[in-house]
Structure 1
Amino acid sequence: MGFNFEYKKDGKNKLSKVGKWQYFREDSTRKSEGFYEKDKKSGAWQYFHNNESISSKGEYIDDKKTGEWKYFFENGSVKSTGYFSEGYKTGEWKYYEDGNLTSIGSYINGKDEGLWKYYNESGNLIHKGYWKNSKKDAEWTYYYENGSLKHSGVYENDIRIGIWKSYDEKGILTSYGSFKNDKPSGIWTFNYTNEITNENEYYNQNFVNGKTVGKCTYYRANGTLLAIGEIKGNVKVGEWKLYNDNETLMQVVNYSNGVLSGVWKSFYENGNVNQTVNYIEGKGVGELKSYHENGKLYKVGNLSGKGILQGEWKFYDEAGKYVKSVNYVNGKEMN
């Protein structure tokens, strides 16, 4: 460590730092260098990485950072730039990564304030919003890589409140609902594409303290009823009813903790039962019955614990008359 010093004449020979000082690490690499005036940093200062490249540089007045300061990565590229006043960040600051701008916004007395914008490595805006006293406040918007809107909503004191909306990359609304104390609250509407039919559908769900509760109603894009059931703790429970395009009941199923459990029934459009079977932990088990559309028994037999046909199965014609029996072993018909 190199230094200059002077004695202050105050009745005590107090040694105080003055002039240019340099600080070194144990391996003799420079750590920092700058000027003192009566024991306080004053004027230009520089700080160094372990490889002795500059990590930051700027000025002090009365031991407090002031004016423009610049920060650097070890490779010399700019990390951030902005201004200090009385030792606090103030005004516009810019942050970089690999030479690309990652965020830009303002400070007041060292705290985030006003509009900030954030960018990805390609320079695309990924989100923007307002800060108040270093807490998110007012409207915030989030974007996909292609620039389309992803989420939008309002913060108050760093907590999501009011209406929030989400969209897919094509700009189609996927969810709509309210937040209370940073948790989904009340009725939310969710839009999605059915992976089987490739059709747009939506459902309404009630939230309490961020968890889904009560009846959940699904609809097709044209508004016709698709399904009704109960959600508890974000999983399906109890009885669920499924409907066709004409809103005719087609299936009644039961869930336990999100897994099929209990009686499963399907129906013909005329309301007669099509098939019944019992589910245990998501697999058909025990006796299965199928019926003709006129309500007469068509076939009856048993399923193994893996939902596979097992043992003797009996078949009947539309008049309910016995036709034949077939034996199965692990799902394979035996001659």
Structure 2
Amino acid sequence: MKKLFFIVLIFSLSGNLFSQSPLPKNGVYISYWPGTQTISEYGFYKNEKKDGTWVKYENTGKLKEVYNYKDGSKEGTYILFDVYGNPTREGRISKGYFTGIEYQYENGILWKKHKYLKPLATNEGLLDQPYPIVVVFETEYDLNTGLMRNEGKVVEGKKDSVWKWYDEKGNIKGIETLLLGKKNGISQRFYANGQLAESAFFLKGEMDGTRLMLTENGDTTEYGNYTKGRRNGFFIIHESLRIKDLGNDQKEYFVRGNYTDGYMNGNFILKYPNGKIASNENYVGGKLNGNRKLFYPGGKISYEANYVNFKLNGKELRYYENGNPRQLTEYVNGTMVGKQITYYENGKPSEETVYENGKMNSFTRYYENGKLKEKRIYMNGKLLKQEFYDEKGKKAELSIPKTALELKKKKEKLNKEIKELNKILEESGKQKLTTIGGDHLPSDYVNKDTTIYTFVEVMPEFPGGNSAMLRYFGSNLKYPEIEKDSDFPAKCYFSFVVNETGKVENAQVIKGSGNLDMDKEALRVINSFPQFKPGKQNGKTVKVKMNIPISCMLPK
């Protein structure tokens, strides 16, 4: 780090020299801040022109600036200070120009270093001349470590030519070629171990040319060509993707394909890290067009379909990893037609849907043993009739409407109940339920990530039924000490989740009693509920969210 040296002369002169000298000016000149004995400026005159070292002070007595003069013009070294007396700039002036190296400081610590590649006019005595272009070589330092952070040429205040950046240990981490602040030429980034991370070419600020990206171990993650900032030509890319029909998790893939003006164009092949093909797809202008196939990591097919004019046409097939079909759907110009069949992993059908003009016409569901489980009839996409069967094939009693009119009435009733509950939820700051209309279900029902249902075919059952559950709650509740005249709402509402095994979890207060101890006791009792008979949807046990209303009153 550069250390600052300068000399301040102290004069021991007779009293009359410490006042502003009368004209003609020759010798020592001293001026004071008005009404004080604090010097504001002192220096020397020679033949009535400033000559030698001149110093200015703040009214606090702190140094403000030091300049050297010759024949009345600034010539030689100069130093500028902040209001605390710390140096901020130090450099040299020659024949009216800033020249050589200028040092810049932050709180007295070296921050930047400018080397003037072209002298910069001070404008003193040169106001009638055109102001020259400022060209300096700039070096910036870390204020804590003193190590170099970056260096390069600056033209008119903009980075230009080759610039280098360094990390906190002084290792080079980047090189860029710029033209008046915009990338223009090769640009490179490096890892701390010195391994190249990225190399790319730019033209007037846009990526234009070959781009190479590597891992810290030197493996390629991208290689291809850009034109005006867009991918153009053949590319090899290694990236993390989430692909439907290949699982919900992010996976690493190697992508090979051609781009035109930034859009995927032609055949694209994705490979797993083991080298096996993950997908084989065809694109036109960034849209799927032609045959598409997806594969499991072991090599077996997962999905196949065909696109014509960017729309699904023909059979769309999905497979289990054991090779058995998972789902078959038929399309014409992107619209589902005919049958859609979903299969169990053993190869037997689980669901069969018939579509007409993109609308559901009928729906049939089967047990894993092949027996009929459910049958629905639709007209113009609206449910007309629905029947359920047990695993032996016997028709079950319906607990849902048989006709569209009955279904509409039930929805209206349910929406009314939800609206009332939403008032309570809004008061307590909880998330509201969505109303049921058309094919929509409450938000909990369609949440595929958590798979917590609100309504299922078979609801969870407390041992002995709901009346037994309320009796259990009342007999196990231990009332905390509460004032006799405490005022409670007529009803309190609590919610809880019955998981796949029938265990109660995530009990919450929807509308409490207003007494924290009372609410805590209620939650304790709910969490102590014995194991429920779990709820079922599509024949499988699932998580179900339930609400319980409790009359809030003190025992007599």
Whether TM exceeds 0.5 here: the answer is yes
Deviation at 1:96, TM superposition (A): 0.6
Cα distance in 2 for residues equivalent to 1:132 and 1:316 = 70
State the secondary structure of the residue aligned to 1:163: strand
1:105/1:183 CA distance change after superposition, 3 Å: same
Deviation at 1:174, TM superposition (A): 0.7
Cα distance in 2 for residues equivalent to 1:49 and 1:214 = 64
What is the identity percentage for the equivalent residue pairs of Structure 1 and Structure 2? 21
Amino acid paired to 2:84: N
Q: Does 1:96 align with 2:141?
A: yes
Cα distance in 2 for residues equivalent to 1:250 and 1:29 = 79
Cα distance in 2 for residues equivalent to 1:235 and 1:41 = 69
User: What does residue 457 of structure 2 align with?
Assistant: 328
State the secondary structure of the residue aligned to 1:328: coil
Amino acid paired to 2:111: K
For structure 2, the residue ranges without an aligned partner over 5 or more in a row are 1-39, 121-133, 307-314, 330-338, 354-363, 374-388, 392-455, 460-499, 501-534, 540-556
Q: Does 1:143 align with 2:222?
A: no
Moved more, 135-144 or 117-126: 135-144
TM-score (norm 1): 0.66
Query: What RMSD, in angstroms, separates the aligned Cα atoms of the two structures?
Result: 4.9
Q: Does 1:163 align with 2:210?
A: yes
State the secondary structure of the residue aligned to 1:242: strand
Cα distance in 2 for residues equivalent to 1:35 and 1:123 = 36
For structure 1, the residue ranges without an aligned partner over 5 or more in a row are 9-14, 255-262, 278-286, 302-311
User: What does residue 96 of structure 2 align with?
Assistant: 63
Aligned length: 300
Q: Deviations over 1:36-94 (max 9, x none)?
A: 456643221111223221011011123321122222121x221123422412545x653
1:24/1:184 CA distance change after superposition, 3 Å: farther
1:252/1:25 CA distance change after superposition, 3 Å: farther
Cα distance in 2 for residues equivalent to 1:49 and 1:146 = 40
Q: Deviations over 1:264-291 (max 9, x none)?
A: 85225797632369xxxxxxxxx98532
The 5 A counterparts of 1:1-335 are 1-2=40-41, 20-22=53-55, 30-37=63-70, 40-74=73-107, 76-84=108-116, 85-87=118-120, 88-90=134-136, 93-97=138-142, 98=144, 99-105=146-152, 115-131=162-178, 136-192=183-239, 201-210=253-262, 216-221=268-273, 223-228=275-280, 241-245=293-297, 248-251=300-303, 265-268=317-320, 273-275=325-327, 289-291=341-343, 296-299=348-351, 314-317=366-369, 320=370, 322=372, 325=390, 328-329=457-458, 332-333=535-536
Deviation at 1:229, TM superposition (A): 5.0
1:40/1:203 CA distance change after superposition, 3 Å: same
User: What does residue 259 of structure 1 align with?
Assistant: none
Deviation at 1:128, TM superposition (A): 1.9
Deviation at 1:183, TM superposition (A): 3.2
Cα distance in 2 for residues equivalent to 1:5 and 1:210 = 69
| 8 A contact 1:300–1:315 mirrored in 2 | no
1:137/1:293 CA distance change after superposition, 3 Å: closer
Counting helix residues as a fraction of each chain, which structure ranks higher?
Answer: 2
| 8 A contact 2:43–2:55 mirrored in 1 | no
Counting strand residues as a fraction of each chain, which structure ranks higher?
Answer: 1
1:211/1:24 CA distance change after superposition, 3 Å: farther
Cα distance in 1 for residues equivalent to 2:161 and 2:240 = 38
1:4/1:30 CA distance change after superposition, 3 Å: closer
Cα distance in 1 for residues equivalent to 2:111 and 2:319 = 66
